[in-house]
């Protein structure tokens, strides 16, 4: 039990509070204290303060909840779907976001001559002056935007590489921290930000504030990597040696020590579940390549922790390994090639990392006989994905290569979908083509840039780059399905009922030809069933019409008979009645006549 006294006098109140961590605290406050004062004592501005019956507002007086000077209250978690615990990042015309508290935290040579203020994201124009908080999504709209006065975007987080990937000039971008006030949480905190200068003149750009009197902090950029071990991927001796939490943690520490980054790295507690171990570690970005080269040693993979919105890693290319190999076999086969940066897997497929200046050498070792590669595109970096339309069905790779050369575009045709009349060619390249439409003797050819839709793609490869071609191809260039590998079957059999990690989904537009044929066959079978059902329905309708016709005729005949009977009855009732003579009386009269 913990006690706290705000003010000790005769008017003080005793407040028993059960905190979120289930601790019981006794607080002494004045009679004029409110729930907000209680929050200040607890340093808890996020939880709900409630009695056993209802929640309390921040302005509620505590004395109204007391009986004989004593109150019993609880700190509860926020209800799901309730008010947000924090204000949104950016400010728009419809909602208020975070507030910049001190503009002097960023340097500007002409700071004294400009009236700097915080701007709304919806109100930016070419003469705006000040700083504007923006999200990564909003910053895309200002790629070609420039102002005549000092103006900059303040993007959430250290996302300098992502901002550069969008196309912003690297000279305009830098990372720092700013003091921001959250009006919802009523707090002022330094937040990591990325500044993107929008001013046209370099003399009006914001910069990091630096002074000789400032305390020097080593702000080396760090990245998050994961050490990962799966039983289905590991050799038996490696799993026996490192399949427990203690041994796995010791191995990661030794690996960091061998890479000379043990003191600068920040390691987290390993996660263990169902033949799977993983540990997150923050490492200096400069030590990335040296650590990556140790990936797959002793069956323990080292790869970056990434999300679908992260920019591709700079300075390397991720290439899919087409052969069916284990981690140990792949490492032994490719580790001696120049530019090798380690091997990793995503549960079903192996990938190899290679430095940008050695891409051609690695692809030569992996795809020596692949017709999709030529001497001119072996070293092309797969940065963007394109769709080429206009080639006839059955087009050969050699024709595609010649077309790319005719428009002076270095690209890799990764897959061809041969439909009934036209073919769709998917290609990767490091840059856009010089023209987006070109003429051939067959007709026009259109090139389209494919952009990822993050709302549909819930999962991406660990490196989140455009996948390098890895599927085997037929002689005519058509992609074929790869049969289930032993690794895939082992993963399925060993991981059932365990940790359910996300599985990458192949977009429908990249589905192989066999899948298209299967869908067509299914649609044809469905059409046949529909036609059969329609025929049966027509027969039933004809039988029903015939039965209705027969019933109508029977009813008409019966009705005519009924009318005839009614007519006869009416005629009988209208004629006079004839009384017949009695036969006995006639005989008696005859006998009397005889006697006379």
pLDDT score at 416: 93
Q: Which residues contact 377 (CB under 8 A, 6 or more apart)?
A: 401, 404, 410, 411, 412
201 and 104 in a common domain: yes
62 and 109 in a common domain: no
CA 362, 365, 368, 372 dihedral sign is negative
- 385 inside domain: no
Whose tokens are 């808890």? That residue is 44
149 and 107 in a common domain: yes
φ/ψ of residue 358, rounded to 5: -130, 20
71 and 111 in a common domain: no
199 and 125 in a common domain: yes
112 vs 115: CA distance, rounded Å: 8
Residuewise pLDDT in 10s, the chain (596 residues)? 444 444 434 567 888 887 766 778 888 888 888 888 887 787 766 677 888 777 787 778 888 888 777 888 887 765 555 456 778 898 887 788 899 988 888 877 665 545 688 888 888 889 888 899 999 888 988 988 999 989 999 999 888 888 888 889 989 999 999 999 888 777 889 999 999 999 998 888 988 877 666 777 777 778 899 999 999 888 899 999 999 999 999 999 999 988 888 888 888 899 998 889 999 999 988 889 999 999 999 999 999 988 776 778 888 999 999 878 888 889 999 999 999 999 998 867 899 999 999 999 999 999 988 999 999 999 999 988 999 999 999 999 999 999 999 999 999 999 999 998 899 999 999 999 999 999 999 999 999 998 765 444 443 333 333 334 433 333 333 333 333 444 444 444 443 333 333 444 444 444 444 456 677 778 888 888 888 888 888 888 888 888 888 888 888 887 888 888 888 888 777 655 554 544 444 444 444 444 43
72 and 104 in a common domain: no
Name the domain boundary from 61, 76, 91: 76
- 155 inside domain: yes
Name the domain boundary from 41, 76, 111: 76
How many helices (H) and strands (E) would you count in the chain? 12, 26
pLDDT score at 455: 45
- 305 inside domain: no
pLDDT score at 115: 67
User: Across the chain, which distance is largest between two alpha carbons, in Å?
Assistant: 177
127 and 37 in a common domain: no
141 and 63 in a common domain: no
Q: Which residues pair with 132 in a beta bridge?
A: 153
pLDDT score at 458: 40
CA angle centred on 178, ends 168 and 154, rounded to 5°: 25
State the residue range of the domain holding 151.
Answer: 99-208
- 115 inside domain: yes
194 vs 203: CA distance, rounded Å: 19
131 and 197 in a common domain: yes
278 vs 243: CA distance, rounded Å: 11
pLDDT score at 136: 87
Half-sphere exposure of 289 (CA within 13 A, CB side): 11
CATH code of the domain containing 70? 3.10.20.90
- 524 inside domain: no
127 and 35 in a common domain: no
196 vs 210: CA distance, rounded Å: 18
**pLDDT tens readout for residues 353-409:** 999 999 999 999 999 889 999 999 999 999 889 999 999 999 999 999 999 999 999
pLDDT score at 249: 92
pTM of the model: 0.57
H or E stretch at 26: strand 24-29
pLDDT score at 412: 94
- 445 inside domain: no
- 234 inside domain: no
- DSSP letter (8 states) at residue 31: T
175 and 104 in a common domain: yes
492 vs 478: CA distance, rounded Å: 28
Name the domain boundary from 192, 208, 224: 208
Torsion region of 347: left, alpha or beta (phi above 0 gives left; psi -120 to 50 gives alpha) = left
109 and 69 in a common domain: no
Mark out the alpha helices in 21-171 (DSSP H runs). 35-42, 136-139, 160-166
Beta strands 24-29 and 207-208 are unpaired
CB neighbour burial string for 181-204, b if at least 16 within 10 angstroms, e if fewer: ebebeeeeeeeebbbbbbbeeeeb
With 0-12 / 13-18 / 19 or more C-beta atoms within 10 angstroms meaning exposed / middle / buried, residue 384 is middle
- 284 inside domain: no
448 vs 292: CA distance, rounded Å: 34
If one counts the domains in the chain, the total is 2
What value does the CA radius of gyration of the chain take, rounded to a whole number of Å?
42
């Amino acid at each position: 039990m913990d006690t706290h006294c705000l003010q000790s006098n005769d008017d003080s109140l005793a407040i028993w509070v059960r905190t979120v961590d289930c601790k019981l605290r006794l607080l002494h406050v004045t009679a004029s204290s409110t729930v907000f004062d209680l929050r200040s004592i607890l340093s808890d501005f996020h939880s709900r303060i409630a009695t056993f019956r209802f929640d309390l507002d921040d302005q509620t007086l505590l004395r109204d909840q007391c009986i004989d000077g004593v109150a019993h209250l609880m700190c509860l978690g926020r209800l799901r779907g309730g008010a947000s615990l924090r204000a949104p990042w950016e400010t728009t015309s419809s909602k208020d976001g975070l507030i910049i508290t001190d503009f002097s935290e960023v340097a500007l040579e002409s700071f004294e001559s400009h009236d700097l203020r915080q701007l709304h994201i919806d109100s930016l124009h070419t003469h705006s002056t000040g700083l504007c908080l923006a999200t990564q999504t909003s910053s895309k709209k200002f790629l070609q935007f420039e102002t005549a006065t000092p103006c900059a975007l303040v993007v959430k987080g250290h996302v300098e590489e992502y901002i550069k990937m969008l196309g912003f000039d690297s000279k305009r971008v830098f990372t720092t921290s700013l003091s921001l006030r959250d009006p919802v949480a009523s707090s002022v905190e330094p937040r990591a930000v990325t500044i993107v200068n929008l001013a046209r003149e370099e003399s009006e750009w914001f910069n990091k504030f630096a002074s000789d009197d400032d305390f020097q902090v080593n702000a080396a950029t760090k990245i998050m990597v994961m050490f990962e071990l799966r039983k289905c991927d590991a050799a038996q001796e490696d799993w026996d040696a490192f399949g427990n939490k203690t041994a796995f943690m010791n191995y990661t520490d030794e690996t960091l020590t061998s890479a000379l980054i043990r003191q600068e790295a920040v390691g987290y507690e390993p996660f263990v579940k169902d033949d799977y171990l993983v540990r997150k570690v923050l490492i200096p970005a400069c030590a990335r390549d040296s650590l990556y080269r140790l990936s797959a040693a002793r069956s323990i993979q080292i790869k970056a922790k990434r999300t679908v919105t992260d920019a591709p890693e700079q300075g390397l290319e991720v290439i899919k390994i087409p052969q069916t190999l284990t981690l140990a076999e792949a490492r032994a086969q490719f580790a001696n090639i120049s530019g090798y940066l380690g091997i990793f897997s995503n549960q079903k497929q192996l990938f190899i990392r290679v430095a940008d200046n050695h891409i051609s050498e690695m692809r030569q070792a992996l795809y020596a006989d692949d017709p999709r590669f030529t001497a001119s595109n072996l070293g092309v970096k797969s940065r963007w994905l394109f769709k080429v339309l206009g080639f006839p069905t059955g087009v050969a790779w050699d024709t595609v290569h010649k077309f790319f050369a005719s428009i002076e575009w270095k690209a890799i045709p990764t897959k061809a979908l041969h439909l009934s009349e036209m073919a769709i060619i998917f290609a990767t390249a490091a840059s856009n083509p010089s023209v987006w439409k070109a003429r051939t003797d067959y007709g026009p050819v259109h090139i389209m840039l494919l952009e990822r839709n993050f709302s549909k793609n819930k999962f991406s490869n660990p490196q989140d780059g455009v996948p390098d071609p890895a599927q085997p191809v037929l002689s005519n260039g058509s992609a074929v399905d790869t049969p289930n590998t032993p690794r895939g079957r082992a993963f399925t059999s060993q991981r059932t009922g365990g940790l359910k990690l996300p599985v990458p989904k192949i977009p429908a537009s990249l589905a192989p030809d066999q899948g298209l044929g299967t869908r067509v066959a299914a649609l044809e079978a469905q059409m046949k069933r529909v036609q059969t059902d329609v025929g049966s329905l027509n027969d039933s309708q004809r039988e029903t019409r015939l039965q209705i016709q027969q019933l109508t005729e029977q009813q008409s005949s019966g009705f005519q008979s009924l009318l005839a009977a009614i007519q006869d009855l009416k005629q009988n009732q209208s004629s006079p009645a004839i009384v017949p003579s009695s036969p006995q009386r006639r005989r008696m009269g005859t006998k009397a006549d005889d006697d006379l």
